[in-house]
Structure formats: structure tokens, C-alpha cells
Amino acid sequence: MSAGVAAYAGLDRLGPALSQALDDDRWIEATATLVAGGKSNLTFEVECAAGAVILRRPPGGDLLPSAHDMGREARIQRALQGTAVPVARVLLEDDGRLIGAPFYVMEKVIGHSIREHLPSGYAERPEDKVALADGLIDALAALHEVDPDQVGLADFGRPHGYLERQVRRWSDQWSRSKTHDVAAVTELSARLSKQVPTAERTSIVHGDYRLDNCMMDLDDPARVRAVLDWEMSTLGDPLTDLALMLLYWREPSDRRFRLTPAITQAPGFPGRRHLVARYEQKTGRPVENLAFYEAFAHYKFAVIAQGIAARVAADAMAGQQFGDLDAEVRLIAEEGLERLERHERED
């Protein structure tokens, strides 16, 4: 364990706090390991002789407004306990006074975190890969069916005008984090602003739903053990979740992005049409205006990529590096424009 990791995790203060919260003095001697893959908030596995837990905290440095809200992540996971949505149990949270940054600690859920490769012997058959895709969609549909009022989340967001605010919000985030103008991002923003559809319904939305933000059951590829990374959750249009998952679900002919795994390009995985059909089946509702939602997902992801680049440049990512992201930002935005143009040609 490096001194930098220990400092980011605040172990000298976190250990005693865990000892008290979990009623076990062995946590005083805890160590921490940075979990690979966290590109926004930082995730650490904290362990000692008593076991292991997961710590989530923001990166260092100046943060964009409304981003990296640890209390929000903890609140929604507490609220979803006991629903059909699988979440990790929150064990400890703090507003920043304890380790110098807001954080929460949750249980470590045992399962597969799938990124670039499937675990050996896991989901080898095409039907298993279809089951995995269906399980992810089913968990997402279950989230979108939760009544916010019934789980204490009636005030978790402002669903009226959600899509218009989202376009404005990500435009503002872009202006705050960009290092130079990117023509594709500028054009995509302008076109989205003119095409915002009327949302058909409101639900809890995750905000960054994808395979590698879920823990999959060790034996059953169709079962999600826990949905993780709730940083961008709110109340809004559920189709924004579906569209972002479609962006991450790369098909064999798609370009590869640096910041997201391309495991679904492997033989046997179903395509995006299958995901949409499964979602329609589980929710009983048709998916409309998909081109807008997919284009907006690309816009959002391009801005996220730019934000990651800015944090890496500021050395606020605990030493993580992601290569040159300028081309990535441009390619993501160009693919979003392609979604709109393809829809216009088909019309």
C-alpha cells in the first residue's frame, strides 16, 4: 500500500471510525488498495483481518458543481434496500470532517466485475451471454419501476424539465472543463438543444448504467448482485439510462473507446436491438425518440471524458492515467452526430 493511497483513504482516521461502526477493533489496522477502473469518484478496497469493505470518495482538487456527491450515492443505496434493485449495504458515511473529503463505506459484494474479459469459464455459451444482457436490462427495468415516493426519494430530483436541464447542465460542464473547442461537441450540443422531446414518464435514473458498474453473480450470468456507482442518480427520464447503456454496449463494427470496455464486441453477445426489445418487454412500454436519447448519451459521455482528462492533468486521480483523451472526446461526439443523421436519413 503506497503512502498516497493511504492518504487518499484517510486510513489513520477511517480505521478507528470503522472499528467503532462495525464494533471490531481489527479495523484499526486496515489497509487500502485503489480499485482500478474508477474514473470519477475514487474507489478503494479497505481490508483487515475482519474482512473487506469498499470506500468511495471524490478525487482531489477543485470539483465541478453538483459532481461527486457522496451523500447522494449513500442515500439512494439506503433507499433501495429491500426493493427489487440489488444494491450494496451502506455501513458508514461522513460529510468530510473525518478524512478531509466526503465519503461512504459499503459492504463488499461478492461477484464478478466484468470489464475487458469474461472470467475463465463464465458465460461461455451464446445463450449465457444473452442471459447476461437480459439480466442487466431486467435490473434496469426494475429500477425504473420503483416508486420514488414509496422509498423516500420524492425529493431526489426535479423531473419536470429534466431533459432540457440535462442538456444545459452538460453544456455548462463542458465549458468548465474543456481545454479547447471541439467542433463535433459544439454541433452536437446545438442540435440536441433544438430537438428535446417531451418525456413520456419519470423514474429514478441511475445516470451511468453499464455492465462494469454492476457486480454479476459468480455462477448465474443472468443475475445482477449489486448495481454500483450511483453518483449521477436522480429523478428523470428513464430512457436516458437505456440510451447510455446502449452507448457502452459496443457491437463488432463499432469503434472502440478508450474509457469503456468493449467486451460486448466478442462473439455471442446480442446487439443493441435485443436490449431495446428486452426493455420494452419488461416495462411494457415502447421506446420512442431513441435517436435523441442515444445522441444525448454520446454528448454526456464526451463531456465526462473531458472531465477525466482535466482531472488527470491536475493529478487528482490518485495516479491513474488514461492516455490522450482529445481524440476520444471528438470520436464520441462524432458518433452521437451519426445517430441523429442516421435517424434523419431513415425518416
Half-sphere exposure of 219 (CA within 13 A, CB side): 0
Phi-psi region of 53 (alpha: psi -120 to 50; beta: other; left: phi over 0): beta
> Angle 275-273-247 (CA atoms, 0-180°, nearest 5)?
70
What per-residue confidence (pLDDT) applies to 65?
A: 44
Residue 10 cell numbers, joined: 484517510
CB 44 within 8 A of CB 8: yes
pLDDT digits (tens, 9 = 90+) for 141-172: 999 999 999 999 999 999 999 999 999 999 99
Residue in this structure with the C-alpha cell 428523470, named with its chain if needed: 236
Domains and CATH numbers, the chain: 3-107 (3.30.200.20), 126-346 (3.90.1200.10)
Beta bridge partners of 90: 106
Residue 64 binned pLDDT confidence (cut-offs 50, 70, 90): very low
pLDDT digits (tens, 9 = 90+) for 115-146: 889 999 999 999 999 999 999 999 999 999 99
Residue 199 cell numbers, joined: 418525456
Rounded distance, CA 115 to CA 125, Å?
18
Indicate if the pLDDT at residue 290 is higher than 70. Answer: yes
pLDDT digits (tens, 9 = 90+) for 297-310: 999 999 988 888 77
Q: How many CB atoms lie within 10 A of CB 145?
A: 16
Between 63 and 207, residue with greater pLDDT: 207
What per-residue confidence (pLDDT) applies to 312?
A: 65
Burial 76-87 (b: 16+ CB within 10 A, else e): bbbbbeebebbb
Kind and range of the H or E element at 47? Answer: strand 42-48
What per-residue confidence (pLDDT) applies to 200?
A: 86
What per-residue confidence (pLDDT) applies to 184?
A: 95
What per-residue confidence (pLDDT) applies to 78?
A: 97
Rounded distance, CA 105 to CA 50, Å?
15
- Helix then strand then coil, in percent of the chain rounded to 5, is 45, 10, 40
Rounded mean pLDDT of 26-30?
95
**Got the DSSP string for 222-278?**
T-EEEE---TT-EEE-THHHHHHHHHHS--TTSPPPTTS--GGGSTT---HHHHHHH
Q: pTM (2 decimals)?
A: 0.89
Kind and range of the H or E element at 140? Answer: helix 126-145
